[in-house]
A and B are shown apart, each in its own frame.
Chain A
Amino acid sequence: DGGITQSPKYLFRKEGQNVTLSCEQNLNHDAMYWYRQDPGQGLRLIYYSQIVNDFQKGDIAEGYSVSREKKESFPLTVTSAQKNPTAFYLCASSIDLRGYLRNQPQHFGDGTRLSIL
């Protein structure tokens, strides 16, 4: 079945350490997104990519980095500069950046929960 796979489900980060969250999709979607969820808040956009080798900052990009070397993969690195990384991270994809023009929703992975040791 087509879908989005995020790994790992749970991740622990030590102080000063960078960690990378994996996101892979086999939906042949051009656009991919990373969101962060904190308790009591809506999903907030960290980074998005509309095509291979291109990505843009979202609303809360500080302390994060991404790459888009392949269409199906959009890994997120949480760097040591991110002072409050404990959160739930969701990866999503859509046909293209303006998929809503064709009434297309976003498709989500199961998420990664990141905690600080």
Chain B
Amino acid sequence: ILNVEQSPQSLHVQEGDSTNFTCSFPSSNFYALHWYRWETAKSPEALFVMTLNGDEKKKGRISATLNTKEGYSYLYIKGSQPEDSATYLCAFIMDSSYKLIFGSGTRLLVRP
């Protein structure tokens, strides 16, 4: 059984704090890792698709790193804002597969 683990399950921070959370996945047969942001009452929105070990991607105040050899990815948010409040999902794709295997998400709440 392939498992994708995300931690922490939930996180409450103050506006302006920087934060990060983790996605762990099987390190063998890695092909790609996706990050999505899912705001309440909206559809999940793609943040990053990462394919290479050592990849670092950035979108505004949000960035992500990828370590395929040890099987983890970090998502960082610099200077959190209330509009960053959402559930952040990661999903792993194994080589020769088509399926995204999702973690259960990290729910972030940013207090003004």
Determine if chain A interacts with chain B: yes
The answer to whether B43 touches A108 (Cβ under 8 A) is yes
Min distance, Cβ A117 to any Cβ of chain B, angstroms: 23
What per-residue 1/0 map shows which CB atoms of B36-56 lie under 8 Å from chain A?
100001111110010100000
The answer to whether A100 touches B49 (Cβ under 8 A) is yes
By DSSP majority rule, is chain A's interface helix, strand, loop, or mixed?
loop
Given contacts A106-B34, A107-B46, contact A100 B93 (CB under 8 A): yes
- Total residues of chain A contacting the partner, CB 8 A: 25
What per-residue 1/0 map shows which CB atoms of A37-63 lie under 8 Å from chain B?
000111111001010000000110000
Interchain Cβ contacts within 8 Å, total number: 55
* A105–B36 alpha-carbon span in the complex (Å): 9
B74 on the interface (CB 8 Å rule)? no
Q: Which of B12-20, B58-66, B101-109 contacts A (4 or more CB under 8 A)?
A: B101-109
What per-residue 1/0 map shows which CB atoms of A10-48 lie under 8 Å from chain B?
000000000000000000000000010000111111001
The answer to whether A103 touches B49 (Cβ under 8 A) is yes
Min distance, Cβ A19 to any Cβ of chain B, angstroms: 21
* A103–B4 alpha-carbon span in the complex (Å): 20
- List residues of A whose CB falls within 8 A of some B CB: 4, 35, 40-45, 48, 50, 58-59, 90, 97-98, 100, 103-111
* CB-based closest 10 A-B pairs: A105-B46, A42-B102, A108-B43, A43-B102, A100-B32, A108-B44, A103-B49, A97-B98, A42-B104, A110-B43
